[in-house]
Amino acid sequence: MSRIVLKPTLQPELFVYSFPVRVYFENTDAGGVVYHGEYLKFLERARTEWLRHLGFDHQALARNHRVTLVVTSLAIDFGKAARLDDNVAVSVRLESLGKVRCVFAQEVRRDDEVLVKAKVTVACVACESFKPTEIPEGLRKKMEAAI
């Protein structure tokens, strides 16, 4: 029996980060189909791992820069269902970058089949006030290289 190793990938020529997710029983309804709310978790997980790939994480941003990243807008299209035990890839592509906000284009794929497409707007806010603030310079530079 062959063993599949799930590893995130970065395709530099496309500037797309891909994070693997296996669908577990906890992600599905009684029919073994992924519950729609679970896709939000998959998308969040992939953006978090993309951030780690850039050398940053949420706790370090809060501790060192006193900022956090929050979702301010989300548009999602559900095309096809993922099912129990599927291996899917959740992609992250930075579509635009402003001083405070950025927009991600994300997809959930099973092999070459697009299951879900999402556009996620994220804002940088101060930890204490939750008021918009500029994305820290070091993170911004890494993000600019990903566009």
Q: pLDDT tens-digit profile of 53-83? A: 999 999 999 999 999 999 999 999 999 999 9
The CA distance from 54 to 81, in Å, is 30
29 classed as catalytic: yes
Angle, CA of 75, 76 and 79, to the nearest 5° = 155
The domain ranges of the chain are 9-145
**9-145 has which fold?**
Thiol Ester Dehydrase; Chain A (3.10.129)
Q: Which of 29, 57, 77, 85 is catalytic?
A: 29
Mean pLDDT of the chain: 91
Give the residue from 3, 86, 103 showing the smallest Cα distance to 38: 86
Global pTM reads 0.88
